[in-house]
Amino acid sequence: MNMGRGKCVEMEGEMKSLIKVWVSVLISLCYCYFISSKLPKGMLRFVSLSPVLYQFSILPLQLSSVLPTGVTAFFITFLTNSKLLLFTFHLGPLSSNSISLLHFLSSACFPITQTLKPHTKLKFHPIFLPIKVLLFALLLIPINQKLHPTLLLSLYCTLVYLLLDIIIGLCNILVHAAFRVQLQLPSDEPYLSTSLRDFWGRRWNLIVTHTLRRTVYNPVRSLLSNSLLGPQWALVCGVMATFLVSGLMHELIFYYVTRVAPTWEVTCFFLLHGVCVVAEFGATKLLGRKCRLHWAVTGPITVGFVIATAGWLFFPPLMRSGVDQRFITEFNNVVECVTGIFY
């Protein structure tokens, strides 16, 4: 009983830290809305935003639990900072002249992207959310068992997919209900990918894809298109720069969660996939559409390659530091504390 009470007290302390972090986020964003937005775009606005960018980069260090730290790093350090960098040049979702404070805060804080097709229906139906939550909880049960490495790796990949869809899907539902805007899906059935370009560009974690396209890929490609490199090499540089930035941001998020010095395996994972995407694009252009393999062949190869390389480079830094087991322990502690309230 005392151990259970101790876990709940620890959770209460983490919750208070989380509230403080997010209150500071809201105050900082109000400053951006009322002060920085009134300044001319460019260097002057960037200078006004630089303290906020720095603050958002260190906020996850005030937390210790795996999920709150990871979510704050993903939402604020990665996505919000990216949106503020676009805001510096009066670009992106925060730069509308008619945007309200509430809309500004939700667009800045949540991993949401308004769809470019306003008349399409929102495919992420609220009924799917509890189903995915239940499936996620059920899949956590066998992790403590001795599983075959391939099965364990597939299980981890499935859990990451479900967790991202649950978190981003919940934000989508809340914002859609509040503002009645059509939002980008969290992902689009990545297990049906027929190529790495299809997986990274059109199916997996579409919010991050959209953000990186606007903050990294488009500027790099635009900058180099008129240079001596030409449009084709500009495209290659844009792709590789995008995967490099994604790798570095994941290294940073992993550091927040593990508090262990980077091993650069995650960066290598994304650079490897960047090289493969470029090679895939070149092969498709060289051979033409007629020489493409059937989706029944390319689909399993694509998904298998993603899972295999994730097991080689993506998950080891987390598993060596015990983050996977910490997350399961923290999840069980939450369940015990919540059930203890009612029983």
Report residue 119's pLDDT band, with 50, 70 and 90 as the boundaries: very low
- H or E segment and range at residue 291: none
Question: Across residues 300-312, what is the average pLDDT?
Answer: 95
pLDDT at 253 over 90: yes
Read off the pLDDT of residues 23-40 as tens digits, 9 standing for 90 and up. Answer: 999 999 999 999 999 999
How far is Cα 148 from Cα 146, in angstroms, rounded to an integer?
A: 7
Give which of 273, 327, 333, 335 is closest to 156, Cα–Cα: 327
pLDDT at 2 over 90: no
Model-wide pTM > 0.85: yes
Report residue 120's pLDDT band, with 50, 70 and 90 as the boundaries: very low
Neighbours of 78 (CB within 10 A): 23
Read off the pLDDT of residues 55-77 as tens digits, 9 standing for 90 and up. Answer: 999 999 999 999 999 999 999 99
Read off the pLDDT of residues 173-182 as tens digits, 9 standing for 90 and up. Answer: 888 788 777 7
Instruction: Identify the pLDDT of residue 121.
Output: 47
Read off the pLDDT of residues 308-339 as tens digits, 9 standing for 90 and up. Answer: 999 999 999 999 999 988 998 888 888 788 77
Calculated CA dihedral for residues 185, 189, 191, 195, nearest 10 degrees: -80
* Angle (nearest 5°) at CA 333 between 332 and 334: 90
How far is Cα 157 from Cα 150, in angstroms, rounded to an integer?
A: 11
Report residue 5's pLDDT band, with 50, 70 and 90 as the boundaries: low
Instruction: Identify the pLDDT of residue 175.
Output: 85
295 alpha-carbon distance from chain centroid: 27
Read off the pLDDT of residues 124-167 as tens digits, 9 standing for 90 and up. Answer: 555 678 888 899 988 888 777 778 888 888 999 999 999 999 99
As beta bridge partners, residue 183 has: 114
